[in-house]
Structure 1
Amino acid sequence: MAKCAICDKGAHFGKVVSHSRSQVSGRSNKMWKSNVKSVRIKVNGGTQKMYVCTSCLRDGKVERA
């Protein structure tokens, strides 16, 4: 899974609990994926292609090439 090169945000894992909350069979695995995009950004005077999350793009932590 891709991670953000700026803030290191990646996928999160947990459990999904059914509505009946049965202790035996009501839980299954779940993965929440972060909104990570592959973009070209300016790094040390050149351009480089990296994975950056949309919150870092919105906050202006990187400059697009």
Structure 2
Amino acid sequence: MAKRCDICGKGPMFGSTISHAHNVSKRVFYPNVHKMKVLDENGKITRKKVCTKCLKSGKVRKA
């Protein structure tokens, strides 16, 4: 499953984990994405993957 928001397009970001001894290894930061039923502009119910930031800001109406 692609971890990408269908509303804002937020996706995974890349960075590093750094230990106390400064050992560096690559890692991925995934957005907090949930599958949910959403009302679209026409009033139809569709399933979309939505990040929690879009839910909190009111960009999406839950069905």
Shorter-chain TM band: 0.7 to 0.9
- TM superposition shift of 1:17: 2.1
- TM superposition shift of 1:59: 0.9
What root-mean-square deviation, in Å, do the aligned CA atoms of Structure 1 and Structure 2 show?
Answer: 1.1
Tell whether the 8 Å contact from 2:7 to 2:50 is kept in structure 1 after alignment.
yes
| Partner residue, 1:48 | 46
Regions of 4+ moved over 4 Å: none
1:11 aligns with 2:12: yes
**Which structure: larger Rg?**
1
TM-score by length of 1: 0.82
Using the TM superposition, name which of 8-17 and 53-62 deviates more: 8-17
TM-score by length of 2: 0.84
- TM superposition shift of 1:7: 0.9
| Partner residue, 2:33 | 36
- TM superposition shift of 1:20: 2.1
Tell whether the 8 Å contact from 2:3 to 2:30 is kept in structure 1 after alignment.
no
- TM superposition shift of 1:16: 1.5
Aligned length: 61
> Identity over aligned residues, as a percent?
38
2-side partners of 1:11 and 1:57: how far apart?
Answer: 18
